[in-house]
Structure 1
Amino acid sequence: MTLRNSTDLNADSSLLIDTQALLLTARRPSITAVSLRIMATNLAFPTIFLLPTHFQPDELPELEGQIPTLTYDIKEAKIVLGRVAKKRRAILELRSRKLFTDEIQSTPPGDGHVVDESPAGPQRPAKRRKPSPSTERASISDDSTASDTDESFREETRSSRAISVQSTSEKKADQKDRELEAGKVDDSLIQVVRLAWFTDSLVRGRVLPVEEYLVYQGRKKAPPLAQPVFNAEDILRRAREDASGHPTSQGQFKQYGPAVQHPRSTSTKRPRFVQESTSENDRAKRLPPIPDYLHSEYSCQRPTPVDSPNSEFIEQLKKMRTLRTLEMDDVGIRAYSTSIAAVAAYPYTLSSASEVDRLPGCGPKIVELYKQWKNYGYLEDVEEAASNPKMKVLLLFYDIWGVGAKTANDFYKRGWRDLDDVVEHGWDDVTRVQQIGVKYYEELQEKIPRAEVESISKVILEHANRIRVGFQMVIVGGYRRGKASSGDVDVLLSHPDPSATDYFINEIVASLEGTGHITHTLTLSSKNSERGQAPLAWKGDSRKPGSGFDTLDKALVVWQDPNWDRTKASNNPNSHRRVDIIISPWKTAGCAVVGWTGGTTFERDLRRYCKKVKQLKFDSSGVRMRENGGDWVDLESDADGNPAPDMLTAEKRVFERLGLTWRPPEERCTG
């Protein structure tokens, strides 16, 4: 790894200043963040992909909310926006996302894209003057049309031509002009632009030309040694043509003949050919209507059942998300989470690519993945990962309790390839939690049946009421959402008397350790009691990433049933289980139940909904205002200020007072 030079540091510093300028502008009383979003919506930005590189985790959601034309699929984008100052780095960022390009030299500012700055917004690009043959060859290929990115619209007008003496190049130029007038664009062009272009455009109230902000521009090309993705309908059609002796073209015999094999032809799985008696257009006309709730922006506004008719496809998408997690692609993770939530909320069995394409949050990438899964029974990236030695090792490490994607990659970089390597070469370097995760690796991979979840929870509640009578408990997590088995057990305890929950986490853990139920305590936190059991104070968006996500008192422990038949075994044969015990004050118990019940995307969107729609800050310790000093908002007491009679009533009041339709736990399964 080479040290960065002063030029790189100066470039990055200028990018930080650009971002700070936008944030400062957003804080002015006259120009709020909301008004900036409205301004952005009124500007005709091209489709933008946001690079997560060099952003803090809490910066990305805020900036994403400012971009009205944001896409999570880089292949859809016209502009790639980010904190990238060097052309070489820009090319690497594109290649890392499997987007390969041929560089196109930047055009002079006078030849670039000019955007209408009138309040009514940009108009259709003006016709361009026919360039000379040498200029045309240098700028765009003969079969290209003008792009709709900032550099691609043309200000020049086309000179008149004598139809009778048009050369071949002139005819092609005329064809491109006709396509331009028809609104066609060159989807092969991609531009990497500094973040300052977007922030400056917002501040100035118009989409600026990109010339001064351009880092790199190129034309998309096929990846090296790319293999065609076969479509079942195409194969069947060509087979019929071969049998009749009337191929569409000679090239089709060459491409699909016996000498060419599908890269997965050695797989034991045979492709699933979908025979259809009607065209795709006819099929689209017969598709069921998309439910209105699916058009909502936030998954917390939709019913998402535990049993989806598309569960097999969803499981494949989850595996893709895990791969992106191991690649530490934050944007990809969010994109797959959004798509998974949309498919999971769709109440009908998907039957065609066009049906997937119309689902909110499912772009061309998800459509292509559906085609792969429908036709071949697998996803190529998932199959490749299963046989990729590095990815197999990363998945092994990622399944260790206490090991995330970053640590899994770090283990691999150290040269470790299995659990024995961790024990032999790194035992003194890994954390105690990771040591326990390795020691009980196989047991902690086992799923916990619902009956055992209930048995463990019953013991915890009994111990709580031995210490102080009156505790109530809700089993949260996957169990409450209706899953047949769980990876761990999550229980939430609360008591109407505030003094009962104060530092109670220490007492309940000591009691369960005394009876041998808790064998190891991984984490013990009493932060909520340390601040007087008050909801976490709202400190604004400038807080450090991750602070205040969930600061309830909690213990993350390893559990083992201490009872067994000692006449049959000398050692305890019961499996070790992961158990989370959470303690909430009564006045915010409803928020705690909500925060620990929903699927990951449900909880993410609930926080986004509270922020964007209600101007509130939500976490499991309570709700605060984002303005007026960050005061706590009581969502759970009745009109007279009396607290809820039980934890589930409090939960329903949270939904009602946030303006959300009540969703039972079994409808919060966003995946």
Structure 2
Amino acid sequence: MALKFPAIFLLPAHLGSEELRELEEQIPTLTYDINETEIVLGKVFRKERALFELRKHKLVTEEVAENDEVTASPRAKRVRVLGAAEDVSDTASDTASDGVVQELRKRSLSPITTATSVAVKVVKLAWFTDSLKEGAVLPLGDYVVYEGNKVTATPIKSPPKPAVNASEVLRRAMGGAASTSLAKARPTSSRGLRGRDHEHAYTPKRPNLQRQTTSEHDREKHLPLIPDYLHTTYSCQRPTPIHPPNEAFIEELTKIRTARTLIGDEVGVRAYSSAIATLAAYPHPLSSTQEVERLPGCGAKIAQLYQEFKNTGELQEAKDSESDPKLDVLRLFYEIWGVGEKTARGFYNKGWRDLDDVVEYGWDSLSRVQQIGVKYYDEFRLKIPRAEVESISDTILQHANKIRSGFHMVIVGGYRRGKTESGDVDVVLSHPSQFATKGFVERIVVSLERDKYITHTLTLGTANSERGQTPVSWKGNEKRGSGFDTLDKALVVWQQPKWSTGEAKNPSPHRRVDIIISPWKTAGCAVLGWTSGTTFERDLRRYCKTQRSLKFDSSGIRSRVDGSWVDFESGPDGQPAPDMLTAERRVFAGLELEYRPPEERCTR
């Protein structure tokens, strides 16, 4: 069960990008709005620095003295905004009737506000990390660097107007001209009304209110319970279906996240990713903003976006991003195979605006993979139907068994998660004999090239065979990458070599195909590592690290204590698993995770 922390805002100061990302993933109650939290966490050790960080995030506080007691009820104080009403009444009483005085007083009164106080504490990062080590939320105690009251101004209701009888109204109406002349004849001293006319008086900004019917209000009392699995930060502990109940809303949020990715807004990407992961695993159709705001990783911002989506069926930011000319170009470059968001921005900054510019001005600067990505840009964007995925996979398995019989294969990736169409084809090949898989990737590629199925080989990796088909060694806590692609593999371009007569050129589109070779003893890790969605895989590695002191990757599992290989795939008698899918289930069991079928690993 995940620890129940209060809402936490994480300060990015003095944190590297990798450390910041890991911490954000570990905090189950993370919020990206400092106004929603009472705990501000960071690498802060002095009160002066804490105050600086709060000011930088535009949070106004009043320090709590050591002997002060923070109470639940807010304190209130009167604040003059535009002037003192008594000044007007003192001057006007000498020259006007009581009715005019009351009118001037009414027109000159300044808005009065209250300052409501909520405690906020700036806490050392060690409080959170120590709590994780102890397995319990520790008292704040000496971890607190600064404590203050978060101050928010809210308007006070004006006092009720005194009752006025009909004769008084008539008298004041008849004296209107005189009152006006008195006002004009009045000297414009520093105690006068110059600059204080009601047309220019301060008017508090009205908050955006959401309409709510009686039935909606009643439904709030009966909102569905939040499943326990949503209170964990690990997606590998949640069922995430391919078509969640709130898929349409998630698609709009995904468009915004893509736009934030293209412009390099890493904080925005993480915030939207956290919300999307929660919503994708939430099993109930949303009905109100209150239901959204209570979900971990969502908050007021996502709730407001849901209200907009509920009212209009779309999100304006998502719509604007799809019509933005710059984002259109960045999206074009980003969809080139071998080009990431940083490279896409680099192309744009060079003045390139389409694929012709890339070819004309930058062809020689592209890597070979990027050149192939440009050459087959339109074909690689075509989706691959399940029947074609199966046909390509069958051909690969036939060639493998032609070289040496006894090979097993699992189609992984989006196909195994249940997608009707895939962007590429991913297969894992393995053999009960460890001698059969060593160096086999080169032999299968040569065989398929000979029969003209493979037109280009983008990557050919033999790292696993070179280290004796053992799991990647653990080299301490050094940042050396995730180890996800450490198996022998071939990333290739595929084209069906046979076509009907009468066509001068092969009409079959070029496809992206990944062939992964795994030794039998760790085939379960390979299937698990190449089946699940990106977020699921990222959180699986994080879960192994923080909860089990293990290092997981597709080549196997190592202990972070002594670096030894951890075998979860063999049976109690030491015998290997009878097949690759049984081996995968044993990995789940060994990691003390509930088995999630591929259809429930569709994280986005």
TM exceeds 0.5? yes
State the match for 2:10 in structure 1: 49
* Matched AA of 1:48: F
Contact 1:102–1:219, Cα closer than 8 Å, also in 2: no
Between the aligned partners of 2:297 and 2:263, the Cα distance in structure 1 is: 22
Q: Deviations over 1:278-313 (max 9, x none)?
A: 343312123333333333432212222222222111
Distance change in 2, residues 1:80/1:355 (3 Å): same
Residue 566, structure 1, aligned to residue 501, structure 2: yes
Residue 616, structure 1, aligned to residue 550, structure 2: yes
Moved more, 355-364 or 533-542: 355-364
TM-score by length of 1: 0.68
State the match for 2:191 in structure 1: none
* Matched AA of 2:398: E
- Structure 1 residue 141: deviation in Å? 12
Contact 2:126–2:143, Cα closer than 8 Å, also in 1: no
2:301 to 336, 355, 365: 365
Between the aligned partners of 1:81 and 1:306, the Cα distance in structure 2 is: 36
Between the aligned partners of 1:644 and 1:123, the Cα distance in structure 2 is: 63
Between the aligned partners of 1:128 and 1:287, the Cα distance in structure 2 is: 29
Contact 1:306–1:666, Cα closer than 8 Å, also in 2: yes
2:539 to 602, 605, 612: 605
Residue 668, structure 1, aligned to residue 601, structure 2: yes
Between the aligned partners of 2:360 and 2:35, the Cα distance in structure 1 is: 44
**Alignment of structure 1 residues 438-477 onto 2, 5 Å:** 438-477=374-413
SS in 2 for 1:554: strand
Residue 71, structure 1, aligned to residue 31, structure 2: yes
- Structure 1 residue 403: deviation in Å? 0.6
Residue 638, structure 1, aligned to residue 599, structure 2: no
State the match for 1:553 in structure 2: 488
* Matched AA of 1:615: S
Residue 207, structure 1, aligned to residue 143, structure 2: yes
Contact 1:338–1:601, Cα closer than 8 Å, also in 2: no
Between the aligned partners of 2:74 and 2:299, the Cα distance in structure 1 is: 32
Q: Deviations over 1:623-667 (max 9, x none)?
A: 11111x121110000011100010011011111111111111111
Q: Deviations over 1:474-499 (max 9, x none)?
A: 00000000011011110000001001
Q: Deviations over 1:323-350 (max 9, x none)?
A: 2222333343333233222222222222
* Matched AA of 1:588: T
SS in 1 for 2:332: helix
State the match for 2:457 in structure 1: 521
SS in 1 for 2:602: coil
* Matched AA of 1:124: V
SS in 1 for 2:311: helix
* Matched AA of 1:328: G
SS in 2 for 1:427: helix
Between the aligned partners of 1:368 and 1:200, the Cα distance in structure 2 is: 32
- Structure 1 residue 101: deviation in Å? 7.4
TM-score by length of 2: 0.75
Between the aligned partners of 2:59 and 2:553, the Cα distance in structure 1 is: 46
Distance change in 2, residues 1:521/1:618 (3 Å): same
- Structure 1 residue 601: deviation in Å? 1.4
Between the aligned partners of 2:28 and 2:297, the Cα distance in structure 1 is: 14
SS in 2 for 1:584: strand
Distance change in 2, residues 1:346/1:63 (3 Å): closer
Residue 124, structure 1, aligned to residue 70, structure 2: yes
1:385 to 305, 318, 321: 321
SS in 2 for 1:338: helix
Distance change in 2, residues 1:275/1:549 (3 Å): same
Distance change in 2, residues 1:66/1:362 (3 Å): closer
State the match for 1:287 in structure 2: 223
**Alignment of structure 1 residues 390-539 onto 2, 5 Å:** 390-539=326-475
Query: Over alpha carbons, which structure has the higher Rg?
Result: 2
- Structure 1 residue 172: deviation in Å? 6.8
Distance change in 2, residues 1:631/1:424 (3 Å): same
- Gaps (5+ residues) in structure 1? 1-36, 117-121, 143-167, 212-217, 222-249, 257-273
Distance change in 2, residues 1:573/1:69 (3 Å): closer
- Structure 1 residue 539: deviation in Å? 1.2
Contact 1:472–1:495, Cα closer than 8 Å, also in 2: yes
Between the aligned partners of 1:275 and 1:124, the Cα distance in structure 2 is: 34
- Structure 1 residue 441: deviation in Å? 0.7
State the match for 1:322 in structure 2: 258
Distance change in 2, residues 1:377/1:80 (3 Å): farther
Between the aligned partners of 1:452 and 1:201, the Cα distance in structure 2 is: 50
Between the aligned partners of 1:450 and 1:422, the Cα distance in structure 2 is: 33
* Matched AA of 1:285: K
Q: Deviations over 1:226-249 (max 9, x none)?
A: xxxxxxxxxxxxxxxxxxxxxxxx
Distance change in 2, residues 1:418/1:73 (3 Å): farther
Q: Deviations over 1:490-546 (max 9, x none)?
A: 0000001001110111111111111111111111111111111100111122233x2
Between the aligned partners of 1:640 and 1:50, the Cα distance in structure 2 is: 51
Between the aligned partners of 1:346 and 1:200, the Cα distance in structure 2 is: 30
Contact 2:230–2:282, Cα closer than 8 Å, also in 1: yes
SS in 1 for 2:441: helix
Distance change in 2, residues 1:126/1:494 (3 Å): closer
Residue 649, structure 1, aligned to residue 582, structure 2: yes
SS in 2 for 1:421: helix
1:593 to 513, 527, 530: 527
Contact 2:484–2:529, Cα closer than 8 Å, also in 1: no
SS in 2 for 1:378: coil
Between the aligned partners of 2:545 and 2:69, the Cα distance in structure 1 is: 34
SS in 1 for 2:371: helix
* Matched AA of 2:330: L
Contact 2:274–2:297, Cα closer than 8 Å, also in 1: yes
SS in 1 for 2:277: helix
State the match for 1:23 in structure 2: none
Distance change in 2, residues 1:202/1:124 (3 Å): farther
Contact 2:410–2:428, Cα closer than 8 Å, also in 1: yes
How high is the sequence identity, in percent, across the aligned residues? 57
Between the aligned partners of 1:582 and 1:422, the Cα distance in structure 2 is: 32
Contact 2:456–2:492, Cα closer than 8 Å, also in 1: yes
- Gaps (5+ residues) in structure 2? 84-107, 131-139, 154-198
Between the aligned partners of 2:70 and 2:282, the Cα distance in structure 1 is: 37
